[in-house]
Structure 1
Amino acid sequence: MKIEHRFLAIDEGRQQLSLVDTGKEGVLWTRDLAAYPLARDMQRLDSGRVLIGYDRGFFELEIATGTVAAVCERWVDVTAVCRRPDGNTLVTGFNLDGTGGINVLTLDRELKLIHTARRDGDYVRLMRTTPQGTYLLCMNDHILEATPELVELRRYAEPGFEHAWKAERRADGGTLVSAGYGAFMAIFDDEGRCIQRFGAQDKVPGAVAPFFYASFEQLPDGRLLVANWQGHGPDNGSKGRQLLEFSADGRLQGSWSAEDRFSSLQGILVV
């Protein structure tokens, strides 16, 4: 079934960022990300701007035009960024403080470093905050829920997690996770028990070809959009359906691909 959404798309395979309308308008603009390698994370700031994290830091971007408005470039191996309501920015990554562990740095409105949190580890991908003030960090084969000092509170793990990419707290208190190479979505209850898996290869048509479930977007009506990344390099667009839409109860409702324009969708942000 055809799906209609307007979203920002990070095509990791071609290292490009695009504004896409899957309905009538198609691809509205595309910009090269060579100057901003390994862009992975996106956050809506307001009606016109987004925050985008990449290997060396982050930048702000105007949605309508793709124009870069501001850049903060200080590190190597940044994997996630988050602008808080108070104007502070959280920067997550590996070895950002030079001590060889996982860090979440806090920058104030002037981008001055005001806090460093650290824990042992050598892998982290996206990080999200929760309404409870905790952090959800993707640590390869599990999701770590931690305090702002990175003290462990709970782990969410399920067989098949490999490079688990994103975790986000749901409105009902559960936690939604994309399993990376596991190529399924998982929902955990507030005790850390997996209560549902969906989107796996045996639950969707063969043309979908689940390979790596990366970023996802929870829509207000409960539907879910998932980026089905297909591999490194510029020529993966025909290997599977690139954007998947699931119903609130985990049934595949539709999908979208544009193999002539995209290779491997990794980051998505509905705008």
Structure 2
Amino acid sequence: MKTLLSIALFLLSASAVLGQNTQRHFLLRDEGISQLAFIDEAHPEKNWYTPIPAGRDIQLVGNGRVLVGTGNGYEEHDIATGKKVSELTSFPGTVSARRLKNGNTMLVGANWQEKQGIVLVEVNPSGEVQRKIVYPGFGYVRLIRETASNTFLVTADEIVFEGDASGNITWQAKIANKDKPHAWQAIRLANGETVVSTGYAVSLQFFGKDGNLLRTITAPPAAKPNFFAGLQILPNGNYAVINWQGHGAGFGNSGTQLLEFTPEGKQAWSWQQDATKFSSLHAVIFLDGLDTSLLHVEDSSGKLAPVKRP
């Protein structure tokens, strides 16, 4: 009996390390058909799917809501039902949106808001502009991430950089092995490295404090790697990444679009999308272990953590 119990505990432990959890809950953004979805693997009857405007990024913003960036600002949706509960539509040209630790929202665009370069526009909950940050010399942008030191990691096609509130670039790196990769998302790690989902370079690339490439994680051919998009560092330290397949409908049978890798680069888990429900994913948030009543941002280790404000 002790032997059987020991084996069972070992398998449970190994499953947790590799991320093979059959009780997972996650949010997905489908760029191909402009859809937001909630998936409960254990109880698929609870799944929901709702149309949203075109845009980029998703984020837990508290009060049981998820923020989705749109081409005019952002929307907030109720996680329990998918229903839209709030929106900001007065900033056409928005590329992506991110809720900051202070409760305001940073809208992102390029050659925008009467400025040239990458432009970050911070708005308060009423949609009033609080400040603008401009990084000149760039004409392309995707996502931003606020760091633990209150700077911003910005993906600008083949360049990923860190910028401060005054518009100064304090660090940068160049994506390897692909021209115009349309790099998607960057996260700062506890050891000072920066991991980037590199778009058409189809990899996670890790850069040192000096901007040099340290190592790369790629997907196996069976997944049909095409474009690495949304990225999340899971509580177990693994990397979950979206393998986007193409614009528009009809990509549901193409590739495996949600992958998980260990820090050593071994594929630990994958999720095969239902082609009748999805086309081409580009963002994910695993909800297990997270408190959806609170705003979440990446902490000093790069993992999602709650922001508790007075």
Pairwise same-fold verdict (TM > 0.5) = yes
For residues 79-98 of structure 1, the aligned pairs below 5 Å read 79-98=95-114
State yes or no: 1:229 paired with 2:244: yes
Per-residue deviation, 1:13: 0.9
- CA–CA distance in structure 2, aligned partners of residues 24 and 60 of structure 1: 24
- CA–CA distance in structure 2, aligned partners of residues 237 and 3 of structure 1: 23
- What's the counterpart of residue 141 of structure 1? 158
- What's the counterpart of residue 151 of structure 1? 168
Residue identity opposite 1:255 in structure 2? S
Classify the secondary structure of the residue corresponding to 1:78: coil
Per-residue deviation, 1:74: 1.4
State yes or no: 1:71 paired with 2:87: yes
For residues 198-209 of structure 1, the aligned pairs below 5 Å read 198-200=217-219, 204=220, 206-209=221-224
Aligned partner of 1:114 among 130, 133, 137: 130
Unmatched segments (≥5 aa) in structure 1: none
- What's the counterpart of residue 226 of structure 2? 211
51-60 vs 16-25, greater mean Cα deviation: 16-25
- Aligned partners of 1:3 and 1:245 also within 8 Å: no
- CA–CA distance in structure 1, aligned partners of residues 162 and 45 of structure 2: 38
Per-residue deviation, 1:27: 6.7
Aligned partner of 1:160 among 167, 173, 177: 177
- Aligned partners of 2:98 and 2:106 also within 8 Å: yes
Q: How many residues align?
A: 264
- CA–CA distance in structure 2, aligned partners of residues 212 and 27 of structure 1: 29
State yes or no: 1:249 paired with 2:267: no
Residue identity opposite 1:199 in structure 2? T
Per-residue deviation, 1:51: 1.5
Per-residue deviation, 1:54: 1.1
Classify the secondary structure of the residue corresponding to 1:215: strand
- CA–CA distance in structure 1, aligned partners of residues 187 and 56 of structure 2: 16
- Aligned partners of 1:75 and 1:96 also within 8 Å: no
- CA–CA distance in structure 1, aligned partners of residues 248 and 111 of structure 2: 27
- What's the counterpart of residue 123 of structure 1? 140
- What's the counterpart of residue 55 of structure 1? 71
Identity %: 31
Per-residue deviation, 1:150: 2.3
More helix per residue: 1 or 2?
Answer: 2
Per-residue deviation, 1:149: 2.5
- Aligned partners of 2:116 and 2:134 also within 8 Å: no
- CA–CA distance in structure 2, aligned partners of residues 193 and 101 of structure 1: 25
Per-residue deviation, 1:26: 6.6
Per-residue deviation, 1:248: 2.6
- CA–CA distance in structure 2, aligned partners of residues 249 and 21 of structure 1: 28
Unmatched segments (≥5 aa) in structure 2: 1-17, 288-310
Residue identity opposite 2:110 in structure 1? F
For residues 17-56 of structure 1, the aligned pairs below 5 Å read 17-25=36-44, 28-33=47-52, 36=53, 38-46=54-62, 48-56=64-72
- Aligned partners of 1:3 and 1:254 also within 8 Å: no
214-223 vs 24-33, greater mean Cα deviation: 24-33
- CA–CA distance in structure 2, aligned partners of residues 65 and 100 of structure 1: 40
TM-score, normalised by the number of residues in structure 2: 0.80
Q: Deviations over 1:154-188 (max 9, x none)?
A: 11113235000000112332111001011111111
- CA–CA distance in structure 2, aligned partners of residues 24 and 86 of structure 1: 35
- What's the counterpart of residue 196 of structure 2? 177
- Aligned partners of 1:3 and 1:22 also within 8 Å: no
- CA–CA distance in structure 1, aligned partners of residues 90 and 111 of structure 2: 12
**Distance change in 2, residues 1:256/1:247 (3 Å):** same
Which portions of structure 1, spanning 4 or more consecutive aligned residues, are displaced by more than 6 angstroms?
none
**Distance change in 2, residues 1:101/1:20 (3 Å):** same
- CA–CA distance in structure 2, aligned partners of residues 3 and 123 of structure 1: 37
- CA–CA distance in structure 2, aligned partners of residues 226 and 118 of structure 1: 29
Per-residue deviation, 1:25: 2.0
- What's the counterpart of residue 149 of structure 2? 132
- CA–CA distance in structure 1, aligned partners of residues 247 and 41 of structure 2: 23
